[in-house]
Amino acid sequence: MAKQKRKKPVHKNKPVLPRKDRTVYEIILLFVFSVSLILLRSHEYVFYYCASLFGTRDGYYYDLHLTPVSVLLFLCLVTFALISVFFFGELCNKAITLRQFTDKNSREAKRFVKSITATFAAVLLVFCISFCVADSSKTVATNQSITATYFIKDDEIIVDYNDVTEVKLYVERELIARGRGMTSSRYTPAIELYTDKGNTVLSASGFGFNYDKMNEYLKLFDPEIITVDNSDFDTMMKNKIRYREVLNQMFHD
């Protein structure tokens, strides 16, 4: 007499998290993901702040700017990475569980698939919105800067000094150059252009800048001002205080 095959027991597997807890988990995940994404997208220098923790590279200096904003962004980046790994593991776990669902649990499976689809759709929407917001803010800044007499060519700022009443310059601080993250010298001076209303138009490093023209322009306001020399850091640091005094007077004239 042939042996009868034993039927394998049907395992009624349930999702790892109850429906209510899973919904809260997805909302928290989406919120943290969205905030991290928007912050990282709107703050273009966050990766260079993180890179600055590792010192020098190939003879170039990373500028070190440990501010509360950079620390917050770094923590958001780490948090986002950890959540992404955990979320991927959860998806794999759910996928394996769904394959074992019986017909009685198909409704729960469909509900889970819908929730995951909605979550990814919302994340994609936030991703697109963050790009649009960041790009529109840059566009506004560009439109406002049309009043200043300058143009950008090959990542170099070329200033027209014929109209000295509209463009105001001063040496402000060591700055990462237009998102490139590195400067040829740690002490390359940064130039900021201002409109007559005092609104910042554009920040950029001294790359490609004509120092003779800048000195000529500044001497119109102070004949005794010292010539800027990019290779002389000590002189430059002494000049900073003097530049600020002179140009603060310019702004308040």
Confidence band for 210, pLDDT divided at 50, 70 and 90: very low
Q: 197 or 73: whose pLDDT is higher?
A: 73
* Domain end (from 120, 139, 158): 139
Mean pLDDT in residue range 64-79: 60
Q: What is the pTM of this model?
A: 0.28
Q: Which domain holds residue 199?
A: 148-252
Q: Give the pLDDT confidence score for residue 127 in this predicted structure.
A: 61
Q: Within this chain, do residues 209 and 102 fall inside the same structural domain, yes or no? A: no
The share of the chain scoring above pLDDT 70, in percent, equals: 0
Q: Within this chain, do residues 197 and 224 fall inside the same structural domain, yes or no? A: yes
Q: Within this chain, do residues 187 and 217 fall inside the same structural domain, yes or no? A: yes
Q: Is the predicted pLDDT of residue 116 greater than 60, yes or no?
A: yes
> Is residue 13 assigned to a domain?
no
* Domain end (from 96, 114, 139): 139
Exposure letters 55-89 (e unless 16+ CB within 10 A, then b) = eeeeeebbbeeeeeebeebbebbeebeeeeeebee
Mean residue pLDDT across the chain: 49
> Is residue 11 assigned to a domain?
no
Q: Are 150 and 167 in contact (CB under 8 A)?
A: yes
Report the alpha-carbon distance of residue 73 to residue 12 in Å, rounded: 43
Q: Within this chain, do residues 154 and 231 fall inside the same structural domain, yes or no? A: yes
Q: Within this chain, do residues 63 and 122 fall inside the same structural domain, yes or no? A: yes
Q: What is the pLDDT of residues 50-67, one digit of tens each?
A: 544 544 433 333 344 455
Q: Within this chain, do residues 41 and 126 fall inside the same structural domain, yes or no? A: yes
The share of the chain scoring above pLDDT 90, in percent, equals: 0
